[in-house]
Amino acid sequence: MRKVGKYEVGRTIGEGTFAKVKFAINTETSEFLAMKVLDKDTVLRNKMVEQIKREISIMKMIRHPNVVRLHEVLASRAKIYIVLEFVSGGELLDTIAHKGRLSEGHSRRYFQQLIDAVAYCHSKGISHRDLKPENLLLDAKGNLKVSDFGLSALPHQEDGLLHTTCGTPNYVAPEVLDNNGYDGAVADIWSCGVILFVLMAGYLPFNEADLKTLYEKIQHASFLCPAWFSPGAKSLILKMLDPNTRTRITLEGIYNHPWFKKNYVPARLSDAEEASDLDDVESVFDNSEERFVDDQLVKESGPSMMNAFELITLSQGLNLSALFDRRQDHVKRQTCFTSNIPANEIISRMEGAAQSMGFRVETRKYKMRLEGRGGGKINQHLAVAIEVFEMAPSVFMIEVRKAMGDTLEYHKFYKTFCDRMKDVTSKMPTLGIDRGKQLAP
């Protein structure tokens, strides 16, 4: 457990190449939050200072119900802490992977919320540039939240265009690949079109074995809509996945499209928009001692204890039944199971299971990191993080989460991993949990 100013910082709930996202609690208000933690030396070594400043500045400008909110930014001598809204429902891609594809009604609702968020960002001059289901989260009520503005940008060239080729290959617009400059807002519309296709089809419109073939398909918009797409949905998707930027549908055209307008409820924005205070953007790299936040690590000899606050957040709506479901039929990017086998034996058995699957295993106390090569068509690298927590005497929770790589490949990994861990999960204790009662902290 770590204390950062007024925040208690707990388990890792996500991670990327240069940052980890931790669960946190505001000790003054008891509010659940997410805290993105970056190492200053890593940021400086990789020349990411301007990128981090831009990401923080852009997120401070955005106050929309369908965008993850940034609360504040703190810094210690060695770390940068970005305090964000905690979104408990997981990735939208988890829902797609579980159900295969979504109904047209559900797809439309998520798409409407996505377009509202994107339109708001564009009204501020902000292009996201990495829109994909992995960056779309769901809150406890099932509302969509756009996250990860690490690649977002404001036009800064004399021609008003962006020139950096970035984004995720399957979702990137053809003009981004041309190296002739592009309008980030127009490129975002293409990505939204790919997302709508994935929601309704359950698979990608462009998904080839190698990048050269993939890019050729994207350049020519070479794809087919499934037979179950309604004429209205197909019409809108074709207008969004138009490789010609001059004829590609605009946001105004999307809002006026009959398919989009059905059951549309606009997002409710706050009447009074807060002014963005950007002073702390510069201060995170200011080495003045008086600006540093107190940062204390509370050492624990055994597995970390899972407190009631964190336990509550592991299941949407305080229904914890999924935590103790032996079937494990709904895999999320972060999934948990329990056991009453001693913690050291759990670690040993997981090491053996992971190594038998061809993963490289690194273990530190009660945390593990597995690294291997995923079997996806683009052969993306897959990394998995595992941690053992103590929930009660002789009752342990094992949390497995994707650290890097393709989410669908992670789902395949998890199914196989659980099959090889049956002797551990079969020894789960029976815990009496009254679903009708809220757990008290």
Is 285 a member of any domain? no
Compare 423 and 234 and report the one with higher pLDDT.
Answer: 234
Opening angle at CA 273, ends 269 and 274, nearest 5? 135
pLDDT grade, residue 373 (50/70/90)?
low
130 is catalytic: yes
Residue 435 has pLDDT above 60, yes or no: no
Q: Pairing state of beta strands 381-392 and 304-305? A: parallel
Alpha helix positions (H), 291-366: 308-313, 343-356
pLDDT at 163: 80
Compare 218 and 50 and report the one with higher pLDDT.
Answer: 218
| Helices 231-240, 184-201: inter-axial angle, 10-degree rounding | 150
Which strand (E) or helix (H) includes residue 277? none
pLDDT at 105: 95
114 and 135 share one domain: yes
At 141-185, the pLDDT tens digits run 899 999 988 888 876 655 678 888 888 889 999 999 888 889 999
Opening angle at CA 148, ends 106 and 123, nearest 5? 75
251 and 130 share one domain: yes
> According to the per-residue pLDDT averaged within each range, which of 123-137, 236-250, 424-438 is highest?
236-250
Is 45 a member of any domain? yes
Tokens of 427: 């020894």
pLDDT grade, residue 376 (50/70/90)?
very low
pLDDT grade, residue 18 (50/70/90)?
confident
| Residue 364: CATH number of its domain | 3.30.310.80
Least confident of 97-101, 239-243, 353-357: 97-101
Opening angle at CA 374, ends 369 and 380, nearest 5? 100
Please tell me whether residue 28 adopts helix, strand or coil conformation.
Answer: coil
Residue 242 has pLDDT above 80, yes or no: yes
Cα 338 from chain centre: 24
Mean pLDDT throughout 46-53?
A: 86
Identity of the amino acid at 57: S
Opening angle at CA 435, ends 432 and 436, nearest 5? 125
Q: Among residues of the chain, what percentage have pLDDT more than 90?
A: 34
Q: How far apart are CA 43 and CA 66, in angstroms?
A: 28
Compare 53 and 104 and report the one with higher pLDDT.
Answer: 104
27 and 106 share one domain: no
At 187-219, the pLDDT tens digits run 999 999 999 999 999 999 998 878 889 999 999
For the chain, how big is the Rg over CA atoms in Å? 22
pLDDT at 175: 94
pLDDT at 307: 55
Is 153 a member of any domain? yes
pLDDT at 249: 97
- Look at residues 261, 292, 325 and tell me which one is the last residue of a structural domain: 261
- Of 40, 38, 31, 41, nearest to 16 by C-alpha is 38
pLDDT at 145: 95
Is 175 a member of any domain? yes
Q: How far apart are CA 410 and CA 40, in angstroms?
A: 30
Is 437 a member of any domain? no
389 and 326 share one domain: yes
pLDDT at 278: 61
For 397, phi then psi, to 5°, come to -110, 130
108 and 65 share one domain: no
Is 354 a member of any domain? yes
- Look at residues 69, 86, 103 and tell me which one is the last residue of a structural domain: 86
For residue 127, give the DSSP letter: B
pLDDT at 334: 59
Task: List residues bridging with 386 in a β-sheet.
Answer: 368, 400
172 and 63 share one domain: no
* CB-based burial, 418-427: b 16+ in 10 Å, e otherwise: beebeebbee
Is 293 a member of any domain? no
Is 276 a member of any domain? no
Opening angle at CA 364, ends 362 and 367, nearest 5? 85
63 and 97 share one domain: no
From 94, 116, 130, 148, active-site residue? 130
pLDDT at 158: 54
Quickly count: other Cβ atoms within 10 Å of residue 325's Cβ.
12
Compare 100 and 348 and report the one with higher pLDDT.
Answer: 348
pLDDT at 324: 36
At 297-349, the pLDDT tens digits run 655 555 665 555 555 555 443 333 333 333 333 345 557 777 888 888 888 98
Number of domains in the chain: 3
- Residue 393, phi-psi category: left (phi > 0), alpha (psi -120 to 50), beta (remainder): beta
Which strand (E) or helix (H) includes residue 360? strand 360-364
Tokens of 29: 């208000």
Identity of the amino acid at 267: A
Q: Which domain holds residue 310?
A: 304-425
Compare 49 and 297 and report the one with higher pLDDT.
Answer: 49
Quickly count: other Cβ atoms within 10 Å of residue 287's Cβ.
9
Average pLDDT across the chain, whole number: 80
User: For the chain, first and last CA: distance in Å?
Assistant: 16
